[in-house]
Amino acid sequence: MRLDQDADLLTRTQARLPLSRPDKRLIFVTCHRREQRVERMQGLARALVRLAARGDVEIVLPTHPSPQVHTPLHKALYGKTGISLVPPLDYAATVCLLRTCHFMISDSGGLQEEAPALGKPILVLRDVTERQEAVDAGAAILVGQSEERILTEANRLLDHPTHYAGMARLRRLFGDGKASARIVEHLMAHPKSTHPPKRTRHRRS
């Protein structure tokens, strides 16, 4: 991972992140899917306000450029103690924040793959997921956008170390990132198989 190899990049990335309270556990939240309805996002917002009221967590939520997603959350969460609404993050900042957080709450498909690879539990803001492997492995929990369900599972991760440890194990559920090297190795070992088959021409009668 480039962040591990480039100390300057890591330092610059960390400096851009809204991590004002290192003594508090960080909850990284993303919500960007356009099919999320306003009333469902309001359930998420209420759960986040109640989580922040614990006083021992800091919540960071990058806002989405789409007004359909951005407006309801901004309206409900702006200025709330313990909740930082930040501009959209680039990939380096997203990975850095993911590595720093205690756990994630997200509807992102990609982050459902990356969180287990970094040993971070993820509460998935969906009723179903295409990344069922993470759920089956115990790295992710489907919470939909029910206020009570989100709050219950988040508090379990915060208050029960054994439960947290069970979800926070490193897991490579979606490959190890070496697929391209294996493809090249296979093609080099079987050069003849890389040629397309000859096409048979049929004469018109």
- Spell out the domain ranges in the chain: 2-175
Q: Are 131 and 41 in contact (CB under 8 A)?
A: no
Q: Which CATH class is domain 2-175?
A: alpha beta
**Residues present in the chain in total:** 205
**Maximum CA pair distance of the chain?**
84
Q: Are 73 and 31 in contact (CB under 8 A)?
A: yes
Cα 34 from Cα 28, distance rounded (Å) = 19
> 155-177: per-residue pLDDT in tens?
999 999 999 999 998 877 555 55
Cα 94 from Cα 113, distance rounded (Å) = 13
> 114-154: per-residue pLDDT in tens?
899 999 999 999 999 888 888 998 889 999 989 999 999 99
pTM: predicted TM-score of the whole model, two decimal places: 0.78
